[in-house]
Amino acid sequence: MFSASEALSGWSVGEASSVEQDGAAVINPFRRKDEAGEKPEAGVAAGGEKSPGAGDAGAGGAGGGGHGGDVDETAALIEQLEREVAALRAERDAAAGERDQAQAAWKHALADFQNFQRRAAQNEQTARDQAVRGVLHSILPVIDHFEMALTLNPEASSARQVMDGVSMIKGELLRAISLHGVQVINPQAGEPFDAGKHKAIAQQPAPGVAAGHVAHTARIGYALEGRVIRPAEVLVAAEEPGHAGNEAGEADAPA
């Protein structure tokens, strides 16, 4: 059921319109609002019927308005995607720049390291050559002394002169190697045995030497800057048999 207000909502009261009735103009008090001042719909004939194709034109017009909104949304989406693509390209270019900088820094560091290795090898070789030259320079006088000894007349030289010459050459050689940090390990009789510097080759009784001490040095040892190159070979004094028996007898004797 419709109310009266709803039924009359499309009509305006008091708006006059002329209607032919029996040849006289009659005022129509109930006139639809959409009739006032509006032209007939396109494609509608004077009798109120639509001309062929009128409905299609209207539908096309309405559809055209809907497609216009879709076009605007698509254009906005394309614009947003273009902005995102531009931002991604900028990030890509920035990353590529950082990559190029990192590669350049890596190549520079690699070149520096290779140069360092080459310089280190050259310095090592130079130091080795200088060390060899230094040792050779220090022992050249020893060779000179040998040359002088060989020029002597063996018939005119005594054994004492030969021994003195050999002793002098030995001293010169020891002095030469001492310039390069070499120390002589030559323990004397009675010194305590040191396993770090001495090497025991035999054990024998030695009068006046306590057991476990050096009795005799068979071969001199050498050390370089405190590090043993060759230990001295020594004879170690052993416990005397008679002295051990006396100590045992004293221990067994009654008080």
Q: Measure the CA–CA gap between 125 and 108, rounded to whole angstroms.
A: 26
Q: What is the pLDDT of residues 39-68, one digit of tens each?
A: 444 444 444 444 444 444 444 444 445 566
Q: Are 31 and 11 in contact (CB under 8 A)?
A: yes
> What's the pLDDT at 93?
94
Q: Residue 243 carries which side chain, given as an amino acid letter? A: H
End-to-end Cα, the chain, rounded Å: 150
Q: Look-up: residue for tokens 């639509």?
A: 50
Sequence ranges of the domains in the chain: 182-243
> What's the pLDDT at 246?
52
Q: What is the pLDDT of residues 8-28, one digit of tens each?
A: 444 444 444 444 444 444 444
Average pLDDT over residues 23-39: 47
> What's the pLDDT at 232?
96
- DSSP, residue by residue, 205-216: E-TTS-TTBEEE
CATH of domain 182-243: 2.30.22.10
Name beta bridge partners: 202. 235
Q: Measure the CA–CA gap between 37 and 53, rounded to whole angstroms.
A: 25
What's the chain's Rg over C-alpha atoms? 63
Can you say whether the dihedral through the CA atoms of 111, 116, 121, 123 is positive or negative? positive
pLDDT band (50, 70, 90) for residue 184: very high
pLDDT band (50, 70, 90) for residue 159: confident
Global pTM reads 0.51
Relative to beta strand 221-224, strand 227-230 is antiparallel
Q: Look-up: residue for tokens 């070499």?
A: 182
> What's the pLDDT at 66?
53
Q: What is the pLDDT of residues 108-150, one digit of tens each?
A: 999 999 999 999 999 999 999 998 898 889 899 999 988 988 8
CB atoms within 10 A of CB 249: 9
